């Protein structure tokens, strides 16, 4: 066999630009707060999910990670999963938490959000804030000296999306090119799911009744993000179109907190979008069923579907704990800039 000729290294042309060194995953967590997935770096997802995966497998290994740290939970509306998952999460990490009842401190009424933020920053190492208006969370975060986490606002529910994507990743071992069908209201849960899916390269097919589509500004953002990630986002008014080739079928309540006066109209408008046996019968056989809870059984989802063997709804709820534990560690042990 003849000798292989070595190729001469090509000379860099004068116009060639040096590529910037790639950031290490740990460097991505530069933001003080976690307010929405709009500001979340795409590289953070896999970094956080790998940590959450380790925490789920071996929680004892992280039992002192936040020892001496404290978390304030300031909620302006009721919660079960968000409150309990954060409270238990801090306990499992060796830290402590304090819950502030909505009636004890209504944001902006008894005292300004800015003043509450400054006070809690003196007592605690981070704050989870659940508020009616996203602008309240933004104002609070600007005044706070510690990390602020959005526990839910009228615009976004980013902690929920972390658990949603982690649950899909658990089953299929990847998120890139996964097909997610979302059937229902174009609400805060969908807004966060849009940002999350687009940034991890998953495809999202949305079906809503006419007039209930997601926010136009969010959709404009997603169009730009999708060009970078290769994600495909489609919008229709036909649930059967959305479920074609779906790896996951996701729904949410039709009447959220603060929409009680619209209940009768919403029930009529959303009835054709119920996730039931007819819908799931047309979906791929391995499609998992997701719901962020609370569920109104018999409204947006039927009893047989929520309890179906393909349902991952309660795995999804459990994963709120693991993904939020990872988030807490990454935010609360982040090196502060000098």
Cα first-last separation, the chain:
61
Count of CB atoms situated within 10 Å of the CB of 115: 12
Closest CA to 267 of 213, 187, 186, 209: 209
Lookup: tokens for 276: 């039931």
- Rounded to whole angstroms, the Cα distance separating 117 from 32 reads 14
Mind telling me the catalytic residues?
130, 157, 160, 252, 292, 320
Q: How many residues does the chain have?
A: 338
Q: Is 69 within 8 Å of 95 (Cβ atoms)?
A: yes
In 170-287, DSSP assigns E strands to: 179-183, 203-207, 233-236, 248-251
Note whether 121 and 70 are within 8 A (CB): no
Q: Report helix angle 158-172 to 313-332, nearest 10.
A: 120
- Cα 244 to chain centroid distance, Å, stands at 24
- Rounded Cα distance between 81 and 257, Å, is 15
Query: If we measure between CA atoms, which residue out of 270, 273, 198, 277 comes closest to residue 242?
Result: 273
Cα–Cα distance for residue pair 296/21, rounded to 1 Å: 50
- Of 296, 236, 233, 237, nearest to 269 by C-alpha is 237
Beta-strand relationship, 288-291 and 126-130: unpaired
Q: How far apart are CA 28 and CA 315, in angstroms?
A: 28
d(CA 176, CA 202): 5
């Amino acid at each position: 066999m003849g000798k292989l000729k070595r190729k001469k290294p090509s000379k860099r042309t004068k116009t060639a630009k040096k590529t910037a060194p790639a950031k290490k995953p740990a460097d991505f967590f530069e933001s003080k707060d976690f307010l929405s997935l709009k500001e979340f770096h795409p590289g953070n997802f896999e970094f956080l999910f790998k940590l959450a995966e380790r925490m789920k497998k071996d929680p004892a290994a992280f039992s002192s990670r936040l020892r001496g740290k404290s978390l304030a939970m300031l909620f302006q509306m009721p919660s079960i999963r968000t409150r309990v998952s954060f409270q238990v999460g801090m306990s499992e990490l060796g830290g402590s938490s304090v819950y502030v009842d909505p009636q004890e401190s209504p944001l902006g009424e008894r005292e300004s959000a800015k003043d509450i933020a400054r006070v809690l920053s003196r007592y605690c190492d981070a704050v989870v804030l659940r508020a009616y208006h996203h602008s309240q969370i933004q104002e609070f975060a600007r005044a706070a000296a510690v990390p602020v986490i959005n526990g839910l606002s009228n615009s976004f529910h980013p902690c929920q999306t972390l658990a949603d994507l982690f649950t899909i990743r658990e089953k299929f071992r990847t998120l890139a090119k996964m097909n997610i069908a979302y059937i229902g209201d174009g609400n805060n849960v969908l807004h966060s799911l849009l940002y999350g899916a687009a940034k991890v390269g998953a495809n999202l097919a949305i079906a809503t009744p006419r007039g209930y589509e997601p926010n136009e500004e969010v959709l404009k953002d997603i169009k730009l993000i999708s060009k970078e990630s290769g994600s495909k986002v489609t919008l229709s008014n036909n649930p059967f179109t959305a479920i074609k080739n779906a790896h996951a079928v996701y729904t949410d309540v039709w009447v959220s907190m603060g929409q009680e006066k619209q209940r009768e109209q919403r029930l009529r408008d959303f009835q054709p979008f119920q996730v039931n046996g007819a819908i799931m019968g047309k979906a791929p056989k391995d499609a998992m069923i997701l719901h962020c809870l609370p569920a109104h059984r018999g409204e947006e989802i039927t009893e047989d579907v929520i309890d179906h063997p393909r349902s991952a709804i309660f795995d999804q709820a459990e994963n709120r704990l693991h993904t939020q534990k990872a988030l807490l560690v990454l935010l609360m042990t982040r090196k502060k800039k000098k």
